[in-house]
Structures are given as structure tokens and as C-alpha cells.
Amino acid sequence: MKPQPASTVTIRDVAQAAGVHVSTVSRALNPDKRGLISAEVLKVVEEAARKLGYRPNRAASALRTGRTHTIGVLVPDITNPVFPPILQGIEASAAARGYFVFVTNVVDPTLARPIVERMLAQRVDGLVLAIATRDDPLVDYIAKAGMQAVLVNRADESGRLPAVVSDDRLAMKLAVDHLVSLGHRRIGHLAGPQNVPTGVGRRQGVEQALRDRGLELACVEACEGYSREAGRVAMQKLLEGHERPEAVVCCNDLVALGAYDVLRAHGIRVPQDISITGHNDMPLVDMVNPPLTTIRLPHRELGWRAAEMLFEGIEGRVLSSFTVVLRPELVVRESTRDLAGEP
Amino acid sequence: MKPQPASTVTIRDVAQAAGVHVSTVSRALNPDKRGLISAEVLKVVEEAARKLGYRPNRAASALRTGRTHTIGVLVPDITNPVFPPILQGIEASAAARGYFVFVTNVVDPTLARPIVERMLAQRVDGLVLAIATRDDPLVDYIAKAGMQAVLVNRADESGRLPAVVSDDRLAMKLAVDHLVSLGHRRIGHLAGPQNVPTGVGRRQGVEQALRDRGLELACVEACEGYSREAGRVAMQKLLEGHERPEAVVCCNDLVALGAYDVLRAHGIRVPQDISITGHNDMPLVDMVNPPLTTIRLPHRELGWRAAEMLFEGIEGRVLSSFTVVLRPELVVRESTRDLAGEP
DNA sequence: TTGAAAGCGCTAACAA
DNA sequence: TTGTTAGCGCTTTCAA
């Protein structure tokens, strides 16, 4: 049987060409052990390896050492513009350390478990979880399996897994404070799904920020998901079930755009008749009509930091901090109106 | 040395628990060889494997068989909304076959080569290349290394690698025909970079479509890249260097939005003063002001088909077709005006 | 500083 | 139908 193409150069070929033992080659080519090798031998080996185009077989090394130099990432939907920058951050960190990243799109949350199991079989060195379902038995499973893992964009309430998140409460406080400063009082909320941490966190953030200003949430509807369609449905319900608010804080940009759709259909103008805020500052929301006032998150850094934490864990260092909270920032555009200004 | 955590269950443990030989376990757990095993033994083995939580070590299997069940994808910029759906298509196809996908972000084209080399070391079973630089010595390298690879969103002019592409010429013909049918005659083009196949292909498409209608390209500027910023620069140049066209066909949506920026700054209204078309139908271009008339590509299918072709190649089947060309489709919105209609 | 030898977990050719 | 055996390419302990 000949599984590898004949062209494949192994460590044995290099050893032979260099006139040394394979173990010497192994040492010479391992940065950590290079010191054990005499300068001349080192040179000969490197020369031979170069000339033969030797490329260590990672599968063999993985089998021997148990380390694959590979991590897995679970994302709910790559197509959601929140995730590409996160992925980019993760990949940049991984690439800098010579790791590869398996990206999986977890369409259905129930698929997460089998995917993690396959990752386990693949012997990934660690996992970044960007999927957002709450109270996951998955966390249990991962913790029990002794896998290295970091959550991103979502904290682990059980405190067993490190996480990198954006400060959702602060984000909503920024939005609410902005609206209040513009003179708005009757403020509603289009909340995220209440079974994911960001959904409840942001809702609580809105409520708290309002309370801090001596106000109450005028009305609220929870969306089925973080999509434009879900935003449409929720906004429709909000209009039907409640007195119309002066402003609506939306759990994310897509939902805000869904709200735009419904408002336009009803002839309600943004921001003249109602102010709207989003969350994420996804690409092109500065180009929509009207340009959306929203909250910008450091998505790329979220991913980068998560990966860095993961590698700390993989390399056995003590994690410098268990939950990293990054700061969001308000981006004011034209979907919010100053009630004190001209009408 | 103990590389694996003690908890790891190997095929030996299963064999022992089931009271059979390891090779029997191997066969029993391999769908292709299950037939060789008696029903009783099969049951015992499966039971033992289940009870012990056995999970075959892919690294070991990879070392033995030379197959890693892993493919690599090279993407220029995950953040560009064209790529997530492509990636999704690839990943869906891979997941269905039990493969994992390494995603790499090739920021700088010169990094592609080292990445491919690392993929080679990782012994990926194949590669999908979504990077678009032309006349790549990379193709040479891949072909020589005997790697399985498929290009997506870009054809290989040398014809050595299979590819899945969208019909760029047809896309531009769709745009031009639409504009001509609206009464436009002085039509310009904001072209893509002329060192990538899509850039030249689309430009030729525009020219050809115009010629078919007995017209000539009124003016053209090539962009430095497929970004909004590049679109701004090119549109600025177009305005400065030429008589203003009635319509401009843009090489992609981002460039069209850059054109919007410049036109707005000059007080030129779209579509009243000039019509604009894009390409890609990226998310939210239906929400910008004015909603962009553009060309929709089957991005997800592009990725899916590329992956399916790759797997055909990996499994040694003859490729059913070498270059797959998918059809784009015109999406008419409000950035193009009928000159015959009311002004 | 280098070599010898064992073995990571799995698969497959061959034998029974 | 099952077992025996060898070995994929590499790393690492032990010995020299």
C-alpha cells in the first residue's frame, strides 16, 4: 500500500542525505531543541532539508505528540456580518502562531454537539465558540472532555469557560443616554431572543439605563432572532400592541433595518416621527436611508483576544484574565432626532 | 511521556472490552468494511465502543492512510461579503461528507505560497482557492505538488485547475442591456483591477455588450481594488477626466457605493442625473439610498459546487466538468432611471 | 552532541 | 469471518 504520493520526502530521506540519524534531523528542525545540535551538523541538515523540499508531516507529529496545531471555531452563521471580523481576528492570531483554524457553520444549535465531537476526534488543540445559545450542556461536555475552549461574544454564566465579550449593558446605556439627551422619554426596545445571553443582557442594559435616568421602558418586543425579518415581525407587533414610542433601541442593526421596513410601510418617518438605534455598526448601515445611529463593537479584537486566550490555555500558561470585557462605542448618524431642535 | 490525556480511549481498549482483535474493531467501525463482520461481533464491538465513548483518532488514521478528511480554503478577505456565502457553501458540502475546512485569510497575495506549503505539511486532502490574483505561479506549484485543488470565482487561464465561476460577461451584458433598454447611450464603466480575471472579464463584457448594441464605451476608469474607497477614487477620476456619462456600470457593489459617495459630494443625483449599476447584490444594497440596481450571483452555490468538484477529484473520480459557469441575474432597483419616462 | 530503539493509534495485506 | 503483523513519520527516552 502506498498512501502518500511517491514524491513525499520524509525525515528519513533528509537523515540519509545529511548522513545523520533521523533523531538528529528531528532535533535540528525543532526550534526548541536546535541548541543540542552542533553548528556544522545543523547546517548540513538544514541544507539537506531545503534541497529535498522536506516538509514535516503534521499528522505524524500530531500522533506522536498529541498536538495538532489546529483549533476549531463554531459560528452560528458566517453570513452574519458580525462574524467575519471575529473570524479574521481569530485567524490572524492563529496564523501568527502557526496554527490552522477549522471553521464550522452551526446552522442548527443541536448540531453543535456532534460537531464538537468530531473536533475532538480530529484532536484539535482548542475551540473558540461563537455560538450563542444559553445554558448549554455543551459547556458541560467540553469541560468534562478537558478541552481547551474560549467563548466569544457570550459569557459563560457557569464560569467554567473563559470568555471575551463586549459590554452589552454599556452599549445599551450609550444608546439610551444618547436618546435621553436628545429629549426622548417614551423609549421602547426591540429585544433579542431571550434564550441567548446577549438578548437578555441588552434588554437589562436598556432597562437599567432608563432607570438610572428615572425612566421606564415604554414598550418591548423580543425578536425570534437577530435577523431583519425578525425585526420586521417584532416592530409590527410593537406598533400593534402599544402606543407608539418616540424612540426604539434595537438589539442589533439587522433588527433595526427590519424596523425601518415596517415603519416605511406604515408611513412613519425615521427620524422625524420616531428615532431608531442599532447595535454592531455593520458595513453599509452608514449608507442606508436614514444612516443608522448605532453601537460599534471591536469585533476583530474580540476574535483576536479570544484566540490569544485560547493559546495561553493550550500552552499551559495560567490565563491572565478569565473574562475579558471590551468597550463598545456610540456612532451617531441620522436615525435619531433631537426633539429640542427644529422639527 | 504521555501526550494524550489519560481519558483517551483507543481502539485497543475497545478490542479488549469486546474481546476481539483491534483489526476487527477497525473493520467493524469502518462503514466500507462492516460487511466483513458477523452480526454478533458487530453488535458487541459497537456496544463496547459506545460504552467507552470511543472516538477514532484522526491523526493516527491520517498517518496510516494519508487522508486527513480535511480541506483548505484560501480567501483574500473574509470581511468582503462575497466570501461568507461561498464559504458557507464549501463548508456545507464538506460537513456533509465528514470533512473539516481550514479557512485562511490571505491578506497579502505573497503570503499565499507559504500558506499553501503549510497546508501541504498539514496534509490537507485538497484546496479551494478563492483568491483572485492572476497568472499565479501558485497554480504551478499546486499542480506540481500534485495537490487536488479547485478555483472558485476565478478561472484558471492555463487550464490546469478546475474552476467554478460566475459568467462575468453575461453579468455585464445584463447590466448594459438594461441601461440601453432604459434609453441610455453614453455609458461608462468603473472597472475592477486589471490584474485580476474578474476585472478584465467584466470590462470586456461591458465592451462587448455595448458593441452588440452598436455602442461604444463612453469612458472607463480602473479601480485599485474592489473597495468603496477605490470606487470613490475611480469615480472622482471619471468625473474629472471625461464628459459625464448618462450611466455607469460598476464592477461591483462596493465600488458603486464609492461612486455614490463622490456623486453626492458633487451634488449629482442618482438616478435623476446619472444611473448606476453594481455587481454582487451584497446584503443591504437594497437599503441604501437609492436602492442599487445590481447583478446577483449564486455565491453559495459557487462554493458548494467548487467543494463538490474537489471531493470528486479527491475520491479519484473523473471530474464531470472542468469549468462550471453559473448564471448571474439582474436585480432592478432604483439606481437606474428610464430616460423615456418622466424626468 | 549524537544514535538506537520504542511506540503514538490506526489500517491493510496476508494468513488462517 | 477473524487474527497476525508490519509500518505510516515522527518524537523522545535512554544510552553512548
pLDDT above 60: residue A6: no
pLDDT above 70: residue A46: yes
Give dist(CA B292, CA B270) in Å, integer. Answer: 10
Instruction: Name which of A311-320, B61-70, B270-279 the model is least confident about.
Output: A311-320
Mean pLDDT of B92-109: 95
Q: Is A125 on the interface with B (CB under 8 A)?
A: no
Residue percentage of chain B with pLDDT more than 90: 78
pTM of the model: 0.90
Q: What is the DSSP string of A185-252?
A: -SEEEEE--TTSHHHHHHHHHHHHHHHHTT----EEEE-SSSSHHHHHHHHHHHHHHSPPPSEEEESS
Q: Is A103 on the interface with B (CB under 8 A)?
A: yes
pLDDT in tens, A127-143: 999 986 666 788 888 88
pLDDT in tens, A276-332: 999 999 988 998 889 999 999 999 999 999 999 999 999 887 766 789 999 999 999
Give dist(CA A71, CA A101) in Å, integer. Answer: 5
| Residue closest to A144 by CA, chosen among A112, A120, A110 | A120
Decide: CB of A61 under 7 A of nucleic strand D: yes
The residues close to strand C, meaning Cβ under 7 A, are: A 1, 20-24, 27, 36-38, 40-42, 60, 63-64; B 3-4, 8, 10-12, 22-23, 26, 29-30, 33, 54, 56-57, 60-61, 63-65
User: CA at A21, C1' at D16: how many angstroms apart?
Assistant: 14
* Amino acid B145: pLDDT: 85
Burial track B241-261 (b if 16+ CB lie within 10 A, e otherwise) = eeebbbbbbbbbbbbbbbbbb
Instruction: Name which of A6-15, A71-80, B24-33, B169-178 the model is least confident about.
Output: A6-15
pLDDT above 90: residue A224: yes
Mean pLDDT of A199-207: 96
- CB B319, CB B199: distance < 8 Å: no
Q: What distance lies between CA B267 and its chain's CA centroid?
A: 37
* Amino acid A306: pLDDT: 97
Burial class, A289, CB count within 10 angstroms (exposed 0-12 / middle 13-18 / buried 19+): middle
* Amino acid B103: pLDDT: 98
pLDDT above 70: residue B25: yes
Residue from the list B3, B85, B101 with its beta carbon closest to the beta carbon of A103: B101
pLDDT above 80: residue B318: no
pLDDT above 70: residue B343: no
pLDDT above 60: residue B247: yes
Instruction: Compute how many other C-beta atoms are within 10 angstroms of the C-beta atom of residue A30.
Output: 14
Phi, psi angles (nearest 5°) of residue B184: -80, 140
- CB A75, CB A105: distance < 8 Å: yes
In angstroms, how far is the first alpha carbon of chain A from the final one? 81
Decide: CB of B41 under 7 A of nucleic strand D: yes
pLDDT in tens, B148-165: 999 998 887 777 889 999
* Amino acid A196: pLDDT: 84
Instruction: Compute how many other C-beta atoms are within 10 angstroms of the C-beta atom of residue B66.
Output: 17
**Residues for chain B: how many in total?**
343
pLDDT in tens, A230-281: 999 999 999 999 999 999 999 999 999 999 999 999 999 999 999 999 999 9
CB contact under 8 A, A87 and B78: yes
pLDDT above 90: residue A7: no
Beta-carbon contacts of residue A93 (< 8 Å; ≥ 6 apart): A303, A304, A307, A308, A311
CB contact under 8 A, B63 and A58: no
* Amino acid A146: pLDDT: 86
Give dist(CA B98, CA A261) in Å, integer. Answer: 40
Joined grid coordinates for residue A239 = 406598533
Phi, psi angles (nearest 5°) of residue A293: -75, 130
Residue A80 DSSP symbol: S
Give dist(CA A62, CA B323) in Å, integer. Answer: 36
- CB A334, CB A290: distance < 8 Å: yes
User: CA at A25, C1' at C2: how many angstroms apart?
Assistant: 11
- CB B278, CB B255: distance < 8 Å: yes
pLDDT in tens, A73-124: 999 999 988 999 999 999 999 999 999 999 999 998 889 999 999 999 999 9
Beta-carbon contacts of residue A159 (< 8 Å; ≥ 6 apart): A322
pLDDT band at A190 (very low <50, low <70, confident <90, very high): very high
Residue from the list B66, B79, B103 with its beta carbon closest to the beta carbon of A85: B79
pLDDT above 50: residue A157: yes
Give dist(CA B84, CA A269) in Å, integer. Answer: 33
User: CA at B61, C1' at D9: how many angstroms apart?
Assistant: 13
